[in-house]
Amino acid sequence: MGRNLFDLSGKIALVTGGSRGLGYEMVKAFAENGADVIIASRKLENCETVAEEARKLGVRAMPYQVHAGRWDEMSRMADHVYREWGRVDILVNNAGMSPHAFPEEITEQMFDSVVNLNFKGPFCLSAKVGKRMYDEGGGVIINVSSSGALMPLPHAAPYGAAKAALNAMTLSLAYHFAPQVRCNVLSAGAYLTDISKAWAPEKRETSNNALGRPGRPEEVVTAALYLASPNSSYSTGALITSDGGWYPNIPSAGRRPEGRE
């Protein structure tokens, strides 16, 4: 039998927004590959459910209730995790949200909520954990971003801007914490997570990307495992896309623009 390229045995992974969607898929994949996991989210009962799933796979798991957009809560979580578990080897800043509203409709409260969750919280946690990783000789930070940072949309301006800031921050931290800590971006496209239940039926079946469809949540797993594992040891400051070749102005796969055969 060939060796497991994504073996994470003995590693400790902390995933924000880890109780559902892409975060849940990453937590499950890390646990399946031997990592102990810390599941952080606003709803403790959801974190506990996922933690129990992970324990059944033979690893340690800890649920933690946190608002990932609040500086003080993220700082306290970092301190708590290090007191309880001693270290973090893999940090995934996955929690995020994107309310749809045009610029003139956005309130200050909405703006602050989006920027705090998608940028301020991840910055705080990355700084707190990254410094400890650096001092202790190694670690990996994965910041989950969005295609909306690369091609911003008019109905999600604060979200796209916050994710673009997250991308820039990742590169800064990659240089600051090098060579001990690797920091990379996993840039996700449209996925059929819980949020897709509110989409129109057509949007759940087709997408403006090269593959012509949204992603299945489990399809993010290999990119996450690559970035988390030692097999990406020469990748830092990188942006890895997992978006089906997304571009908002191309026709869906299988269709041809007018005037083309």
- Pair type for strands 239-242 and 12-16: unpaired
Catalytic member of 159, 175, 226, 247 = 159
Cα separation values, 123 from 112, 165, 167, Å: 15, 10, 11
How many Å separate Cα 218 from the centre of its chain?
13
Question: How would DSSP label each residue in the chain?
Answer: ----TT--TT-EEEEETTTSHHHHHHHHHHHHTT-EEEEEES-HHHHHHHHHHHHTTTS-EEEEE--TT-HHHHHHHHHHHHHHHS--SEEEE---------GGG--HHHHHHHHIIIIIHHHHHHHHHHHHHHHHT-EEEEEEEEHHHHS--GGGHHHHHHHHHHHHHHHHHHHHTTTTEEEEEEEE--B-SGGGGGS-HHHHH--SBTTSSPBPGGGGHHHHHHHHSGGGTT--S-EEEESSSB-TTSPPTT---TT--
Catalytic residue flag (residue 159):
yes
Enumerate the active-site residues.
159
